[in-house]
Structure 1
Amino acid sequence: MSSSKHYDVIVVGGGVIGSAIAYWLAAEPGFAGRRVLVVERDFSYRDGSTGRSAGSIRQQFSTRENIEISLFGAHFLKNVADWLAVEGEVPEVGFREKGYLFLASPAGWPVLQENHALQKALGADNLLLESAALQARLPWMNVEDLAGGCLGLSMEGWFDPFALLQAFRRKARSLGAEYREDQVTGIATANGRASGVALASGATLSADWVVDAAGPRAREVAALAGLDLPVAPRKRQVFVFDCKAELPGMPLVIDPSGLYVRPEGSGFICGIAPKAGEPDPDTLDLEVDWTPFEEVLWPGLAQRIPAFEAIKPTGAWAGHYSVSLLDHNAILGPHPELPNFLFANGFSGHGLQQSPAVGRGIMELIVHGGWRSLDLSRFDYERILRNDPILERNVV
């Protein structure tokens, strides 16, 4: 591929993952003076996964690495001025540490206890509550069918996803990273390495490293390099409603049924993913279907929180999860056939909260040749080839 310009790293996709990678590369002293380019297909980010996220972060996972990733994410959000301030201006990401509350039936209680023990051992700040204690703490909740729940006391909650994206982007650009509004239409390879990209505008660019951070389109980008990436775009819907009742101390609630609900401004948002065996097609469609709200969510909400019998739906939106088809966990690092082509894909709804740690980790692979701050090797592509899924029991 002939080229008019050379970059040390080209990142395909400028959402929160791609922009986090660009920031960490541009900020790394060992990479000073190198050229980093982010190619983003739409600078409005209108249909991007980041801005359409529910914007939440938790440490309540069952996998050590996922817990460690989100512990750093929470630390990053709480100290965002240390990393992302530009000329003294500190971004406001609106981190609200209201916690997650995972509820468990008697059958699910032992798993919740086991997960809680690992989370506490790694430094998570959460509390296991049996049903009586849960009822005393949150009297507006129906706990009759519950054994209890696990509540995050700090470092969990929600924040402004688009603000974090823009903060990463602005800081990366202030440090010299370049952004280009264009679409990658080809990836050149030579001698077992990725050598550059072709763009829809007609430009061709060479690169020492190419990073696939294309979110819902990650599989398409990988295919341009002749690689198979088992990641698919799946539609997830968020429904907004009002309720006149006061629900003091309400965290983000995860019901055993799989539905979630949390406060948002003066109202609430909720959603639910399809269960195993239910239709969940690959799609880039963003049209809202109210059927899940009417048939599943509203009855489930009213059963768990009786005040939600009387609510007023006020809006909805749809976004995309980039689902890792093997195990709903991220795919990170190089492809064995193209060691300078890196994946940062398949977050399955966790990309926003994982972006600070993943961006740092991808930088470490490029600059230092390996994982340094956190060992994320368990998420490598080779597990796909081995058909060796990671069991994460807290998928929402």
Structure 2
Amino acid sequence: MTDVIIVGGAIMGSSLAWWLTELGHPPQRITVVERDPTYAACGTAFTNSCIRMQFGNPLNVALSRFGVEFLRAFPTRLGDDRVPPIQLHEFGYLYLAGTDAQADRLCAALAVQTEAGAATRLMEPAAIAAEYPFYDLDGVILGSHGARDEGYFDGTTMFEWWRRLARERGVTFLPGEVIAIDASEGRVHGVTLSDGTRLPADIVVNAAGTRGAQVAALAGVAMPVEPRKRYTWVFEAAHPLDRDLPLTIDPSGVHVRTDGPWYMAGATPDPDPAVDPDDFSGDWEIWEDRVWPLIATRIPAFENIRVRQSWVGHYDLNTLDANALLGPVGPEGFVMMNGFSGHGLQHAAGIGRGLAEWIVHGRYVSLDLTPFCPARVARAEPFAELAVI
């Protein structure tokens, strides 16, 4: 068996560590190196923790379907009586199209999703109004709604139990920052930490999230992964809706959903430049100037609301095609697990399983994830995902 070092211990690194032990890799030969063991500023800490079937790429739909299956059987999958169940709150996603081009994308995606086993349905404005009468549908020509297997789940619990059980099984979780990767003679031999510690390894997995491009560069690999700010607001409505609000993606790109007794909204800044991984500052005028007016126009009941909480998180955006970069690239033994572009947490179960299979068995067994191979970057051959929120 090989010595595996995983650079990054958040959702992807912990998923991989657990899956490796689950598939029989000796845990004492697995080390997870995490620069911030509090995980206070990782992408996982700021996630909105939802899952959806409505992707345009069939492989992403398949990953979501496995993700839902995994969530529904979480204690059984982890094989530990202490593990609590994870409930999926199925309010669905509702994409609204305001142009013919947007409507065409929804129709094309429906075919992909249906073929992959999703329960997506297209809805004309009259059907939307009948089921969800609180919308102002001015300018909407079509909607796409997930009738099942879409909504919110407790991603924090999933993350914590993967990490906890991997550690209990014998995986080493080591605080530290990787500053060098020994990739001499065409293969990796280990890593060096900022305190001078050198760790030997046969395989180095880059699960560094928004720092993925920096870690790849240590192995001489250029990857188009950039930290991008994403805004979230949690608000209370003076006049709550009489039913769950689907995660509604307005034609403008602003989205809003039920969040327990309150509501959660999110938006992408415009412009949307790459930022420093430590930059979580916010231009909060975006709420008053853009986001709230759009929400209140689409859902008039939200004219009178009060923001309770807000934060800025980061996507690790793959600027080539907004899709995962997964598998070997560059020197032998260097492996990418990056660029999830906002849909990483919902796919962490399938991604962790797949990469663990590749390491243990030398191939993908359950689901062929070969199309995510990072070698497509050098070939400039996108494996695109257009349904990015």
- 2:140 paired residue number: 146
The corresponding residue for 1:383 is 376
Superposition pairs of residues 1-396 of structure 1, within 5 angstroms: 8-29=3-24, 31-32=25-26, 35-86=29-80, 88-107=81-100, 108-247=102-241, 248-274=243-269, 278-284=271-277, 285-335=279-329, 337-396=330-389
**Could you tell me how far apart the structure 2 residues matched to 1:330 and 1:28 are?**
22
Q: Call closer, same or farther: CA 1:48–1:92 in 2, change over 3 Å.
A: farther
- Post-superposition offset of 1:241: 1.3
Checking the alignment, whether the CA contact within 8 Å between 1:15 and 1:48 is kept in structure 2 is yes
Q: By how many angstroms is 1:69 displaced? A: 1.0
Task: Quote the Cα distance in structure 2 between the aligned partners of 1:393 and 1:279.
Answer: 17
Q: Retained in 2: the 8 A contact 1:17–1:344?
A: yes
Asked if structure 1 preserves the Cα contact closer than 8 Å seen for 2:325 and 2:373, the reply is yes
Post-superposition offset of 1:92: 4.4
Q: Does the 8 A contact of 2:231 with 2:269 survive in 1?
A: no
Structure 1, unpaired ranges of 5+: 1-5
Q: 1:382 to 1:138 in 2, by over 3 A?
A: same
Contact 1:85–1:91 (CA<8 Å) still a contact in 2? no
Residues 206-226 of structure 1, C-alpha deviations (whole Å, 9 max, x = no match):
011100000011111111122
The residue type equivalent to 1:392 in the other structure is E
1:185-211 deviation line (CA, Å, top 9, x unaligned): 111112211110111232111011100
After superposition, the C-alpha distances for 1:21-64 in whole angstroms (9 at most, x for unaligned) are 101101103x2466111111112111111011111111101111
SS across alignment from 1:197 = strand
Size of the aligned set, in residue pairs, is 386
State the SS of the aligned residue for 1:271: strand
Tell me, in whole angstroms, the C-alpha distance in 1 between the residues paired with 2:354 and 2:67.
12
Cα pair 1:75 1:155 within 8 Å, conserved: no
* Runs of 4+ in structure 1 over 4 Å off: none
Shift of 1:283: 2.2
Larger CA deviation: 251-260 vs 219-228: 219-228
Q: Is the 8 A contact 2:328 2:335 kept in 1?
A: yes
In 2, distance between residues paired with 1:202 and 1:152? Answer: 51
Asked if the contact 1:60–1:394 (Cα under 8 Å) also holds between the matched residues in 2, the reply is: yes
Separation of aligned partners in 2, 1:13 and 1:140: 43
Unaligned runs of 5+ residues in structure 2 are: none
Query: Is the 8 Å Cα contact of residues 254 and 291 (structure 2) preserved in structure 1?
Result: yes
Shift of the alpha carbon at 1:393? 2.2
Change (3 A) 1:33 1:165: closer
Displacement of 1:281 in angstroms is 2.9
TM-score (norm 2): 0.95
Separation of aligned partners in 2, 1:145 and 1:388: 35
Aligned equivalents of 1:229 and 1:146: distance in 2? 38
* Contact 2:72-2:86 at 8 Å conserved across structures: no
Output the CA distance in 2 between the equivalents of 1:339 and 1:376: 19
Instruction: Report the residue type matching 1:350 in the other structure.
Output: H
Write the letter of the residue equivalent to 1:164: M
Deviations 1:130-150 (A, max 9, x none): 111110000001123212211
Q: Shift in Å at residue 84 of structure 1?
A: 2.4
Retained in 1: the 8 A contact 2:23–2:357? no
Letter in 2 for 1:115: A
Q: Distance in 1 between matches of 2:43 and 2:83?
A: 24
Among the aligned pairs, what percent are the same residue?
Answer: 41
The 10-residue stretch of structure 1 (161-170 or 12-21) with the greater mean CA deviation from structure 2:
161-170
SS of the residue corresponding to residue 338 of structure 1 reads: coil
Q: Any idea what SS the aligned residue of 1:50 has?
A: helix
CA RMSD of aligned residues (A): 1.6
Q: Which deviates the most, 117-126 or 9-18? A: 117-126
Using the TM superposition, give the Cα deviation of residue 106 of structure 1 relative to its aligned residue in structure 2, in angstroms. Answer: 4.6
**8 Å contact kept, 1:91–1:167:** no
1:242-272 Cα offsets, whole Å, 9 max, x none, are 1022321311111111011012122111111
User: Cα 1:167–1:395, aligned 2, differ >3 Å: closer, same or farther?
Assistant: same
In the alignment, the residues of structure 2 paired with residue 39 and residue 239 of structure 1 have an alpha-carbon distance, to the nearest angstrom, of: 32
1:280-307 superposed Cα distances (whole Å, 9 cap, x missing partner) = 2322211232122111111110111111
Equivalent pair of 2:99/2:141 in contact (CA under 8 Å) = yes
1:16, 1:352 within 8 Å by CA — same for their partners in 2? yes
